[in-house]
Amino acid sequence: MSELKINERQSGGVTILDLAGKITIADGAPVLRGTVRNALEGGKKNLLIKLTDVTYLDSSGLGELISSYTTTNREGGKLKLLSPSRKIEDLLIITKLITVFEVFDNEQEALNSFK
């Protein structure tokens, strides 16, 4: 069982959350929720979630991404996704969430989209 690790870094006015591990009901979802809430409470409104090193995403993990997106929007911010694996991108396509999230393959393009 690999826990979700989140490395937070800043680039301009964007908070980048580098995720590594699994986002599941037991592991990552509560960690992700807490990290996003803390960022928003700290006045960080532009969030970029990097999914390159996420090895597994279950339905509750997907639900947490949606919840984080909704909460960020409600707080007047933007949440975008960066570099999902092929498997996660397929999941976003199947669930039609690819039409909800802005998804980028290139970090610089993602950062520029916040301007």
> 5 falls in which pLDDT band (50, 70, 90)?
very high
Question: Domain map of the chain by residue range?
Answer: 5-108
Q: What sign for the dihedral angle of Cα 101, 107, 112, 115?
A: positive
Candidates 37, 85, 91, 90; CA nearest to 63 is: 91
pTM: 0.96
Above 80 in pLDDT, residue 2?
A: no
Nearest-angstrom CA–CA distance, 1 and 17: 21
44-67 pLDDT per residue, tens: 999 999 999 999 999 999 999 999
C-beta of residue 23 within 8 angstroms of C-beta of residue 3? no
The CATH number that domain 5-108 falls under is 3.30.750.24
Query: What is the average pLDDT across 88-94?
Result: 95
C-beta of residue 20 within 8 angstroms of C-beta of residue 53? yes
